[in-house]
Amino acid sequence: MVGFLVGEALRDLRRAGRVAASAIVLITLSLAALGGFWLVSSNLDRAVARWRDRVRIVVYLRREPSSPDVAALVERVRTTPGVAAVTFVGKADALRGLKQVLGKDAGVVDQLPANPLPASLEVTPAAAAATPEGARELVARLAALPEADEVAGSVDWVEQLSHWQRLLTTIGLGVGAVLGLAAILTVTTATTLVLHARRHETEIMRLVGASEITIRLPLLLQGMMQGLVGAVLALGTLVLTYSLVAPRLEPLVNLTLGLSQLVFFTPVGVTALLGAGTLLGGLGGWLARAGREP
């Protein structure tokens, strides 16, 4: 029975001809567009999560407190709403950090008559404060400290990155939906043509007692085959594009977003893409079948 149904579905595909090929092309385009935006969005999401975890607010102090006062100040700031952790950086530690940043030019620092860097507190915001509104409120609370001279730090640019990630996701869904709808309609047209071509054969099968599901199932399988072929082609296109583009973009992405490697779909993502293609084709075949029910 299975061999008969698959054979009938393949024969129906050949009958549909160019219309079936057009449906496969549209499914390929829709899934390739959706998958491309999905890949960009998922990598941006990784960057947003990475940088949100590394957000710091720096409180520059008017003067460096004595050792006994440091613990009390750190504890007082730690209990401030929106603060997850606090690290004290003394003037000497700040100078050593500057030397590490300068690298081979660190000798310039030794020529300074005195250490010009202030002591500071590096504040890690809690999750509730890692938003533009929460960060502004936290900065205001930290700036009100008597020991604070200046407060620097913001998560606005991280939220801008998150905004672009959401925008790309929306655009990808929109483009994929439009092309997917066109693919469904094309599959429906191809299946309807097959129904028309085999109408006499269908009537004969009914007369000899064939069940309706035996008659109609090959049409549904035809649409699912078109969808699966289109999904495989889209996946192959994405794999080829990723292998060519990712190695060239990774140095720039590492420099700007801090991502050492661009990721591709997980096995779950690959399965979802193939399933989406099969569903698109099957839906097109089902609509044609539903429209031809007696």
| Rounded CA separation 89/100 (Å) | 15
Q: What's the pLDDT at 293?
A: 43
pLDDT tens, 219-231?
777 778 888 888 8
- Which H, E and C letters describe the chain, residue by residue? CHHHHHHHHHHHHHHHCHHHHHHHHHHHHHHHHHHHHHHHHHHHHHHHHHHHHCCCEEEEECCCCCHHHHHHHHHHHHCCCCEEEEEEECHHHHHHHHHHHHHHHCHHHHCCCCCCCCCEEEEEECHHHCCHHHHHHHHHHHHCCCCEEEEECCCHHHHHHHHHHHHHHHHHHHHHHHHHHHHHHHHHHHHHHHHHHCHHHHHHHHHCCCCHHHHHHHHHHHHHHHHHHHHHHHHHHHHHHHHHHHHHHHHHHHHHCCCCCCCCCCHHHHHHHHHHHHHHHHHHHHHHHHHCCC
Tens-digit pLDDT profile for residues 115-147? 788 889 988 888 777 666 777 788 888 888 888
What is the tens place of the pLDDT at every residue in 78-119?
Answer: 888 888 888 898 888 888 877 777 777 767 767 777 878 888
Give the residue extent of every domain in the chain.
2-51+158-291, 56-154
pLDDT at 267: 92
User: Taking the domain 56-154, which CATH number applies?
Assistant: 3.30.70.3040
Considering the chain, what is the average pLDDT of its residues? Answer: 77
pTM for this model (two decimals): 0.61
Is residue 2 predicted with pLDDT exceeding 90?
Answer: no
Residue 170 Cα distances to 37, 129, 174, angstroms: 9, 26, 6
> 7-65 pLDDT, tens per residue?
655 565 566 567 677 777 888 888 888 888 888 888 888 877 777 666 778 889 888 88
